[in-house]
Amino acid sequence: MPEDSTKPVRLIALMNQKGGVGKTTTTVNLAAAIARSGRKTLVVDLDPQAHASLHLGVDADALGSSVYDVLIDPSADVRAAIRPVSDMLHVLPAQTDLAAAETELADAPDRQRRLERALASLGETYEFILLDCPPSLGLLTVNALTAAREVIIPMQAHFLALQGVGKLLETVRLISKGVNPRLRVTGIVLCMHDPSSTHTREVVGDLEAFFEAARAQETPWRFARVLRPAIRRNIKLAECPSFGKTIFDYAPDAPGAADYGALAEVLVKEWDALLQRRAEAPVVVVPAPSVQARASM
């Protein structure tokens, strides 16, 4: 690695202030798929409803410590709150008391950076960290956006969902102008997707046109795209949380497993390619003009 000898971590916030769009389903099953491809992966449950924890079979209210303790007490040991789901997949769970964290932290000067600090203390233990955000733009989501390098937006391709994306991007822009200039929107995951609907196809077309038009401007979503494959509506995905299982343990042959598996493959491949490019990048102290010209292309 040129400047940075530590192993990089791909830290992604799955964010949408609307509830019921597929954030938790995507966080849990995408993380499980990435872990199955051999990458050490951590899910951080930032929703007081603790759905991601339950989905991963962790009864958060029976736990000693959780993400709440980590946010409230900067000296708390993050590792003590993390629970293994499998060898490669771990979870930093939530409990219902997490709702209180927003008010308890309201006056803390470093309140936006609590999660970032906690995750930094994990060093390179995990290659992928996925943050399941609550359905709001409050302090918990702000902590996620401050800690993350990337934002993935799970959503359904409905006209009204499209309106919410503007507000969401504005929040990302504010965070990137303030505490986290490196934050980028990677793209949208289409959840509960029905490709046969004309309306759905129109909305996806609008989203793609929006991102294309944004390519010329310096925004955090300049390189964003509609990620493929879309996640089809699949009843097995709705069933598996109540068994505390990911789709890969509950119904490995279901379309939901195929879709999240394929999406994980795309993300892992692009990550490997990025690391490869970084590893091969020549360390040029004083670049020759021709190299400079090429680098700025």
CB of 112 to Mg ion, least distance (A): 21
CB of 187 to Mg ion, least distance (A): 19
What is the per-residue binding string for ligand ADP in 7-36, x denoting contact by CB under 6 A? ------------xxxxxxx-----------
Q: Which CB atom, from 72 or from 99, has the smaller least distance to ligand ADP?
A: 99
In the 3-class helix/strand/coil scheme, how is the chain assigned residue by residue?
CCCCCCCCCEEEEECCCCCCCCHHHHHHHHHHHHHHCCCCEEEEECCCCCHHHHHCCCCHHHCCCCHHHHHHCCCCCHHHHCEECCCCEEEECCCCCHHHHHHHCCCCCCHHHHHHHHHHCCCCCCCEEEEECCCCCCHHHHHHHHHCCEEEEEECCCHHHHHHHHHHHHHHHHHHHCCCCCCEEEEEEECCECCCCHHHHHHHHHHHHHHHHHCCCCCCCCCCEECCCCCECCHHHHHHHHHCCCHHHHCCCCHHHHHHHHHHHHHHHHHHHHHHHHHHCCCCCCCCHHHHHHHCC
Q: Which CB atom, from 36 or from 51, has the smaller least distance to Mg ion?
A: 51
139's contact among Mg ion, ligand ADP, none, with CB below 5 to 8 A by partner kind, is none
Residue number of the CB closest to Mg ion reads 24
What is the per-residue binding string for Mg ion in 45-84, x denoting contact by CB under 5 A? ------x---------------------------------
Q: Does 36 bind Mg ion (CB under 5 A)?
A: no
CB of 138 to ligand ADP, least distance (A): 15
Q: Does 238 bind ligand ADP (CB under 6 A)?
A: yes
25's contact among Mg ion, ligand ADP, none, with CB below 5 to 8 A by partner kind, is ligand ADP
Q: Which stretch binds ligand ADP (CB under 6 A): 63-71, 115-123, 145-153, 230-238?
A: 230-238
Burial of 162 (0-12, 13-18, 19+ CB in 10 A): middle
Residue with the two structure tokens 């590792």: 79
192's contact among Mg ion, ligand ADP, none, with CB below 5 to 8 A by partner kind, is ligand ADP
141's contact among Mg ion, ligand ADP, none, with CB below 5 to 8 A by partner kind, is none
Q: Which CB atom, from 30 or from 119, has the smaller least distance to ligand ADP?
A: 30
Residues in contact with ligand ADP by CB under 6 A are 19-25, 51, 135, 191-192, 231, 233-234, 237-238, 241, 256
